[in-house]
């Protein structure tokens, strides 16, 4: 598991010679080892930019990003980073098992078939080892994507709207599955989502970001014990927090 620190981090993107866009304002953020964080905010506020900086896929314009005190790229080099996106990006000609072999092959390692079998069982796809992505439902494909992100036993899991393309019923089911998987692994996790209910159900802490330039304007420690169930989402306090956080996403929201 990993501890993440952003100190004085901002990110500016140059559009052309005359114009640039400040995506992230200067921010400080610490994510504790084994913590599950959800980032909420309007489109274009820099949520995915934070993931890219933590993943070492981009560099900050100012400030520093470290994972366990080291540059994020070192986590990449050691294959200790797991990423799952809204688009599952599975290879259509490979089976479930074949897609899970891919991270090992890219890392130059022999696929660990016992570990792969365990992950397939963990994400509830036992019996579908030989299925191609076209033979799976959207939710099942996302399960494969999450299993693939876990293949090399990462210290850090980054999830960028992994269930955004799913219908509401499937999405709720996947929220329950992700919670179960996370509780077993308890990997330091950052989830980017537009769904307040999803953030509250899955995270230990919810961070609300402002519109561009993105900065953290609200932080909520989620009070519900784990494991959380569908009944958790029916509690009055859950609905109160959903309403409260939804108001925090309004453009006119003022920081307390």
pTM: 0.88
Q: Is residue 256 part of a domain?
A: yes
- Is 172 within a domain? no
Write the pLDDT tens digit of every residue in 70-103. Answer: 888 877 777 778 888 766 678 999 999 999 998 8
In a domain, 88, yes or no: no
For residue 178, which phi and psi values (nearest 5 degrees)? -65, -40
Quick one: pLDDT at residue 253? 62
Residue 172 in 3-state DSSP? Answer: helix
Asked if the structure places residue 197 within a domain, the reply is: yes
Reading phi first (left if > 0) and then psi (alpha if -120 to 50, else beta), residue 119 is in alpha
Beta carbons of 8 and 26 less than 8 angstroms apart: yes
Average pLDDT over residues 148-168: 85
CA atoms within 13 A on the CB side of 37: 27
Q: How many domains does the chain have?
A: 1
Task: Tell me if 19 is assigned to some domain.
Answer: yes
Q: Is 140 inside any structural domain?
A: no
Q: 143 by DSSP, 3-state: which?
A: helix
| CATH number for the domain harbouring residue 200 | 3.40.50.300
- The domain in which residue 53 lies consists of 1-78+190-256
CB 7 within 8 A of CB 69: no
In a domain, 115, yes or no: no
The tens digit of pLDDT for each residue in 161-205 reads 888 877 888 888 888 888 988 898 889 999 999 899 999 999 999
In a domain, 158, yes or no: no
């Amino acid at each position: 598991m990993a501890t993440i620190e952003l100190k004085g981090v901002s990110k500016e993107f140059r559009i052309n010679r005359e114009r640039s866009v400040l995506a992230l304002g200067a921010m400080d953020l610490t994510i504790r080892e084994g913590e599950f964080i959800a980032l909420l905010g309007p489109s274009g506020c820099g949520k995915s930019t934070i993931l890219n900086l933590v993943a070492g896929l981009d560099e900050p314009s100012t400030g520093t990003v470290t994972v366990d005190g080291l540059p994020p790229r070192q986590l990449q080099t050691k294959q200790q980073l797991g990423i799952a996106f809204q688009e599952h990006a599975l290879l259509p000609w490979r089976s479930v098992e074949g897609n899970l072999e891919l991270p090992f092959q890219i890392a130059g390692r022999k696929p660990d078939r016992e570990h792969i079998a365990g992950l397939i069982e963990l994400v509830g796809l036992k019996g579908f080892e030989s299925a191609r992505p076209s033979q799976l439902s959207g939710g099942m494909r996302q399960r494969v994507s999450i299993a693939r992100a876990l293949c090399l036993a990462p210290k850090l899991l980054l999830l960028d709207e992994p269930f955004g393309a799913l219908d509401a019923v499937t999405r709720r089911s996947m929220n329950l599955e992700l919670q179960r998987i996370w509780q077993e692994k308890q990997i330091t996790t950052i989830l980017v989502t537009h769904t307040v209910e999803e953030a509250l159900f899955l995270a230990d802490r919810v961070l609300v970001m402002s519109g561009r330039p993105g900065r953290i304007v609200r932080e909520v420690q989620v009070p519900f014990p784990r494991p959380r169930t569908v009944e958790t989402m029916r509690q009055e306090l859950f609905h109160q927090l959903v309403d409260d956080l939804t108001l925090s996403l309004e453009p006119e929201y003022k920081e307390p």
